[in-house]
Structures are given as C-alpha cells and as structure tokens.
Amino acid sequence: TLDRSSAASDVYKRQQQINADRAPALVNLAGFAIRERRAQDAEALLLTALKLEPYYIPASMNLVDLYRMTNREAEGEKIILSALKNVPDNAELNLAYALWLVREKQMDKAMQYLKQAAASGTDPHFKYVYAVALNQQGKTSDALEMLNQAAAMPTYNRDVQLARIEIAMQINRKDLAEKYLMEWNALDPEDPAIQQMTGSK
C-alpha cells in the first residue's frame, strides 16, 4: 500500500511539474515539500509562485504559514503586507494579518483588519471572528449585531449559532437566547448541542 501511495504521489508531482509555470501547481508542489519536511524547497517554490502571479492569494497564505512554522514571523508580515497592497479587500489576508497582530499583542490595530475581513468576507466565519473579538473588548451589542449578520448569510455556521446564544445568556436576555435557539433548531435539528439545550429547559 505504501508503494502504491508513493507511486501515486510521484505521478501527482510530475503532473504539477508539467504546469510549473503556474502558481497553483507550484503551491501544490510546495505543499508536498512541507509534508516531506523540505522547508527550503517549499519556500523557493512559493516565492517563485508569487513572482509569477502576485495576486494568487494561496501562495502568500502558504508562505506566511511556512514562515510562522519556522519562527520567521517578521518575514511573514512582509509577505502579508505586500499581498494586501495587491488585494486590500481580501478577507483571508485581512484575517491573517489581524491574527499576526494579535500574536504580536497589537490588538487595537488587529481590530481594523478583523473589521475589514468581516466586511468583505463571503463566509460567516469572518464575521464570527470579529464578533468574538468585539465581545472580548466588552462591545457586546456590536458583537451580537455582527453575529446576527453572519447568521443571515446563506452559508450555515454552527459557531455563529452557538455564540449568539452564549452572548444572549451573558447579557441576561433569555428571550433572545430562546429565539436564537429556535432559529438554530430550524436549521440543524440533529445537532447534539441543540438537543441538549432543548432537553434541559
């Protein structure tokens, strides 16, 4: 089985190498290099990908992750800022930079980027992360408003539903918590957390 798996990997690598003039193929090859603990090779591939296609976000994101794994956070910041110049409204990049700033204990600055990620992201996860940060800063009503916006998006997100109930309980609004629980139940009645909450009323 190992031989077959290794052979399949070799075939896949060769297919990617055929397209090595394109950033997506280079990012895929870098992924293999990281799994095989070849950090230098991965870095070279990702840097080449960025030169070829500076607007290809996965190349930037993967390089930032690689620099974080190898304790080169300052170089990671340069990559994110360079990518943000190309696509300032990209939610993933804004979130990545916000998390970088959080690790550097620059929470106030991070909030600006979390806000931008929440505003431009098409996935409710971005609003959820911003809402959690707002709540941690004591801005509970703003956090709840952000979570309600996230809950109204077409994509279902369990964390959003749970956070709405938790914040409603936190501010002693049992009526709101009940309302959110009913809405969540309509979306995902099989969730064990819902069954536990409804069963314990």
pTM: 0.84
**Cβ(64)–Cβ(48) below 8 Å:** no
Please state, in angstroms and rounded to a whole number, the distance separating the CA atoms of residues 81 and 109. Answer: 14
**Three-state DSSP state, 184:** helix
pLDDT tens readout for residues 17-76: 655 678 998 999 999 899 999 999 999 999 999 999 999 999 999 999 999 999 999 999
- Per residue in 144-187, pLDDT (tens digit) is 999 999 999 999 999 999 999 999 999 999 999 999 999 999 99
Alpha carbon distance 142, 35 (integer Å): 41
- Distance linking the first and last C-alpha atoms of the chain: 52
Q: Which two tokens stand for residue 123?
A: 């996935």
